[in-house]
Amino acid sequence: MTDCIFCKIINGEIPSYTVYEDDVVKAFLDISQGTPGHTLVVPKKHVQDIFAYDEKLAGEVFARLPKIARAIKQSNPDIVGMNILNNNGAVAYQSVFHSHIHLIPRYSTQDTFS
């Protein structure tokens, strides 16, 4: 989609800090870090929300989460947990309408995300 901010990030038209990338997903740091390392996992195919996935894409995207979560965890020994969140629809606080999964690391030390 031409006016989608995450399609532009995937295409390289808008810069981002890439955490992981392959043929199915791009994972990049959220511009607003809930905690350090807060990452968005985004399917390269434009799908609006969970209601628009077919089973194949859902399997491909969700199968990648453990690997990406481990990579984030291994980046800092203080990361001891992680919230995984997915908002669908404005009423559920989705603000970018290209589906994405938040990976929010949680630290043994105090952090700012409540």
Which residues form the interface with ligand 5GP (CB under 6 A)? 5, 14, 16, 28-32, 87, 93-96
Query: Binding string, 5-44, against Zn ion, x = CB under 5 A?
Result: -xx-------------------------------------
Cα separation, 80 vs 110, in Å, equals: 11
Contact of residue 7 among Zn ion, ligand 5GP, none (CB under 5-8 Å per partner type): Zn ion
- Find the binder of Zn ion among 44, 45, 46, 102 (CB under 5 A): 46
- Most distant CA atoms of the chain, gap in Å: 41
| Secondary structure percentages of the chain, helix, strand, coil, to 5 | 30, 25, 45
Q: Is 25 exposed, middle or buried (0-12, 13-18, 19+ CB in 10 A)?
A: buried
Which residues here bind Zn ion, judged by CB under 5 A? Answer: 1, 4, 6-7, 46, 98
